[in-house]
Amino acid sequence: MRALPIAFLGLTLAACDTTPGETDRAFQASGEIIAMSGGAGGAGNACFTCHGLKGEGDGVSSPRLAGLDQGYLQKQMEDYASGLRPDDVMTRVARGLDPEARRIVAAWYAGLHAPPAGASAAPRPSIWLTGDTARGITACAACHGTEGQGAGAGQPIVARQPAAYTLEQIDRWKSGRRRNDPRSVMAAAVQHLTEEEAQAIAHWLSTQSPSSARAEASLARAASVAAAARPAASRETRRPARSDGG
């Protein structure tokens, strides 16, 4: 009978000794559970009810989450929770989860496939690529890529988001309600954008595919546009601080 506890101990140790692959799977499963149940926040906060079963979004006000950058998603959850990005719905949802739960649900959505592109593709507004120096508008492509595919390091994918959602974000930056952009880059970028330009951009972005081969091919081009535009962008955002001091 003495051998029994030792055998048990062996089993327990074997169960704890999970490979990295198994840990990843357990991790993703709990992210999925939060997405489907709302986690500690309860069923009223279940992400899928607004963001879709596959994180594809509702096509109107709830953005797609599938395939967005994990770091970006996690930052948004923290910003909703802290009030830096206040929102009637999402601030409550984010505060219903602890930081660890916010991290794993972000990781789960980042791992899902982006929804495929629709059949129609709108023409790309020229201001997206060129900006307008006369009005102090930096080219959106410098930070979001030529096709809206994002440029890594916190410069998010904006392709294939609902037009109404994109317009709402532009409005919130203009009015200062959303102010979680590092160095106010977004507030500066959209300040002088006209309503027509904002609508053309939002409509075009909603028809873009972030995962298309075309987007992949344009990554290199986007990087060079970004390199060219970066000094101008930092000058633009530093200006208000300097003029304060006279």
Interface ranges with ligand HEC (CB under 6 A)? 34, 38, 45-47, 49-51, 61-63, 65, 68, 73, 75-77, 85, 87, 89-90, 93, 105, 137-138, 140, 142-144, 154-156, 158, 166, 168-169, 180-182, 185-186, 189-190, 193, 201, 233
**Which is closer to ligand HEC, CB of 64 or CB of 212?**
64
AA letter at 55: G
What span, in angstroms and rounded, lies between the C-alpha atoms of 189 and 108?
31
Nearest distance, CB of residue 50 and ligand HEC, angstroms: 3
**Which is closer to ligand HEC, CB of 90 or CB of 212?**
90
Nearest distance, CB of residue 148 and ligand HEC, angstroms: 8
**Which is closer to ligand HEC, CB of 4 or CB of 192?**
192
**Which is closer to ligand HEC, CB of 117 or CB of 232?**
232
Burial class (CB in 10 A: 0-12, 13-18, 19+), 142: buried
What span, in angstroms and rounded, lies between the C-alpha atoms of 79 and 97?
13
Nearest distance, CB of residue 93 and ligand HEC, angstroms: 4
**Which is closer to ligand HEC, CB of 109 or CB of 212?**
109
Nearest distance, CB of residue 114 and ligand HEC, angstroms: 12
Single out the residue of 112, 117, 192 nearest to residue 147, CA to CA: 117
Burial class (CB in 10 A: 0-12, 13-18, 19+), 29: exposed
**Which is closer to ligand HEC, CB of 176 or CB of 246?**
176
71, 138 Cβ separation under 8 angstroms: no
Nearest distance, CB of residue 130 and ligand HEC, angstroms: 11
What span, in angstroms and rounded, lies between the C-alpha atoms of 209 and 159?
6
Nearest distance, CB of residue 9 and ligand HEC, angstroms: 39
45, 93 Cβ separation under 8 angstroms: yes
